[in-house]
Amino acid sequence: MSVSLPEKTYAATPSEVFKFIWDSTRDRRWFYAVMSLVVIAASICFVMVPVEMKHLIDVITTQTPSAANAGMLTWIILLVVGFRLVGSLFYRSSGYMSAVMVPRIKAQLEEIGLRGVLAHSHAFFTDQHMGSLVRRIGRLSDAYDRVHGTFYWNILGSIAVCVTITIELLITRPAAAVLVVFWMLFIALSNIVITKWKTPVDEERSRIQNAAQGLLADIVSNATLVKLFAQESKEATAFHEGLAKRVNIERIAWFRADHGLTASDVSAALLNGGLLYLALWGWERGQVTIGDFVLLQSFVVMLIDQLFMIGFAYRDFIEALTGASEIVGVLKSKVEVRDVKGAKPMRVTRGGIKFSQVNFGYGDKRILSDFTLDIAPGEKIAFVGPSGAGKSTVVKLLLRFYDANKGKVLIDGQDTSKVTQQSLRENVSLVPQDPSLFHRSLRENIAYGRSEVELEEVIAAAKKAHCHEFISKLPLGYDTLVGERGIKLSGGERQRIAIARAILADTKILVLDEATSSLDSESEQLIQEALQELMKRKTVIVIAHRLSTVMGMDRIVVMEKGRIADMGTHDELLGKIGTYKKLWSIQVGGFQGA
């Protein structure tokens, strides 16, 4: 049964995103420490350049030319060149280190993102837009890329410059140092206030951007359907409306950022004037040289540049973290179905299945009520009934896509909620009504779920599923790529590939969910013959709407409103007045009327 529930949203604060990245890359902290030391050293070297230039100017303006003074100037010039050269080398080394490590860390975070998303249950994916979800995973590594560059080369480097300048001024010009400290505190406070004011807008922008990207992916992935119903204009308009929302929220974000820049511009002009006034006051008293003027002006330029850089970088830093808010919210959220502590692998030797007083519902809607059924090893069971009766839900509980609200599901006496999900699903083969294929080769799709399978085994399974015939006619044969979700194949061909996959898996339990519904009559007959041979050694559950496909089952379970309404063989059920006979009469009558 398909139930439409509101799409669940996920979010994390910037600090939570930063902590997630920090915790997820704890094995890289040595790299962070070395990067910090290198960037700080580079910043200190660059601050020392104007300090030595001040000494150079003082010597030139206060001393007479001489060999001794020329030697002193030569030494100062060497220091200027040395500090600049060493600072540049430190910065370049941080770049080389980042070139080696950052791509690895980004890949590491994307892998963590994928593993975390795949850990969620079937229910999670039914509530999410796949295109948007893919984009969110990418934003985690994008966020790290921006955070890394912003932090080291903008925030940390700028802070190191400002601290070094402040220490130099405290030693030489305490009054100027006090003015600089107050100005930096004002800039820091204003940036914090502006960022807090802007962050909710950034979060909303990220949400709107994800929605727009999801809509775009939805439209493009269903381009054939859009064209079939001539809805190009309508879909383009819907996308335009989504983009209009993004444009509006981005405008608001820009305006709020510029408010902060305006405050910084005004305060920078006041700082410049204040430091120049202090220099003039000292010059009148003979305490300030021309070199001091040059040094203070150099420091003012550096401080303004660095504090502006910090302001920009801090907002970019928070914006980058906000961009990864949704995916981190997903990764930090509770996994709906998880392995219990100490879960052991399932061992299936016979294939007996038991549903014991199982209750289940989606939200407040009850689907199964006190569902109890024993399926003997090797028995072939068919579930039939009207849509919404709970047939597919039974299979989803068997595969533990959901946990039962009450009761147990047992396989060979093992509670499925107490074993690992991986081992459970390795022992059950499912052929769904609408098979999903990867955009990979036919060989890979047939062998999916099996490791180190020889081509001969793949071909043998394909022959049993009667898909070898059409595969062998393709130019690349089993190496042919099938397109996204198998779009290059017909519905019947995709169905036969899925059946070949199940044949190759060769598990004790086989589930067929309308497995022959997409086949033409000739193909269906061939597949039925292959499945009859395959089912001899397995416990089989068949979900079917076409009753003609379940006539040979050992038992047919008739379901209504989440309960077993009747049970028996085809002949037994036709001998009763009930749902099965009514459905049979409708289908047979429909066939005769056709």
Tell me, letter by letter, the H, E, C secondary structure of 549-569: HCCCCCEEEEEECCEEEEEEC
Contact 541, 510 (CB under 8 A): yes
Tokens 């061992």 locate to 347
Instruction: Show the tokens assigned to 294.
Output: 């040059």
The pLDDT assigned to 372 comes to 92
| Closest CA relative to residue 540, chosen from 381, 416, 399, 354 | 381
Name residues whose C-beta falls within 8 Å of residue 248's C-beta, 6 or more positions apart in sequence. Answer: none
Give the per-residue pLDDT at 523. 63
User: Which residues fall within 8 angstroms of residue 438, CB to CB, at 6 or more apart?
Assistant: 444, 445, 448, 482
**pTM, to two decimals:** 0.69
Sheet holding 365-375, edge to edge: 365-375, 353-362, 406-411, 414-415
Q: What secondary structure letter does DSSP report for 287?
A: -
Phi/psi of residue 246, each to 5°?
-65, -40
In CATH terms, 14-332 corresponds, of 3.40.50.620, 1.20.120.80, 1.20.1560.10, 1.10.260.40, to 1.20.1560.10
Q: What does the alpha-carbon distance between residue 75 and residue 79 come to, in Å, rounded to a whole number?
A: 6
How many other C-beta atoms lie within 10 A of the C-beta of residue 184? 21
pLDDT, residue 375, reads 92
CA 551, 552, 555, 559 torsion: positive or negative? negative
> How many C-beta atoms surround the C-beta of residue 161 within 10 A?
24
Q: Residue type for 311, please?
A: G
User: Sign of the CA dihedral 465, 470, 473, 476?
Assistant: negative
The reported pLDDT for the residue numbered 96 is: 92
- Residue spans of the domains in the chain: they are 14-332, 353-593
CA atoms of 470 and 496, how far apart (whole Å): 10
Q: What is the mean pLDDT of each run of 10 residues along the chain (594 residues)?
A: 52 85 90 93 89 79 75 84 90 91 91 86 72 77 89 87 84 75 74 74 76 76 74 83 83 72 66 66 65 73 76 78 83 84 90 92 82 91 85 90 90 92 89 82 86 86 86 88 76 82 88 71 68 78 81 88 87 82 72 36
Measured in whole angstroms, how far is the alpha carbon of residue 556 from the centre of its chain?
A: 42
B/e letters for 55-74, b = 16+ CB within 10 Å, e = fewer, are bbbbeeeeeeeeeeeeeebe
Distance CA 364, CA 341 (A): 28
Beta bridge partners of 512: 431, 542
Instruction: Compute the distance between CA of residue 518 and CA of residue 403 in angstroms, rounded to an integer.
Output: 30
CA distance 84 to 78: 10
pLDDT at 409: 94
Q: What share of the chain is helix, strand, coil (3-state, %, to 5)?
A: 65, 10, 25
Q: Which two three-digit tokens encode residue 379?
A: 């028995």
Q: Are strands 555-560 and 365-375 parallel, antiparallel or unpaired?
A: unpaired
The pLDDT value given to residue 105: 92
CATH architecture of 353-593: 3-Layer(aba) Sandwich (3.40)
CA distance 399 to 427: 10
User: With contact defined as beta carbons under 8 Å apart, do 253 and 205 qualify?
Assistant: yes
The answer to whether the beta carbons of residues 436 and 485 sit under 8 Å apart is yes
Q: Are 465 and 500 in contact (CB under 8 A)?
A: yes
Is residue 152 helix, strand or coil? helix
List, in sequence order, the alpha helices (H) in 222-289: 223-228, 232-284
353-362 vs 509-513, strand pairing mode:
unpaired
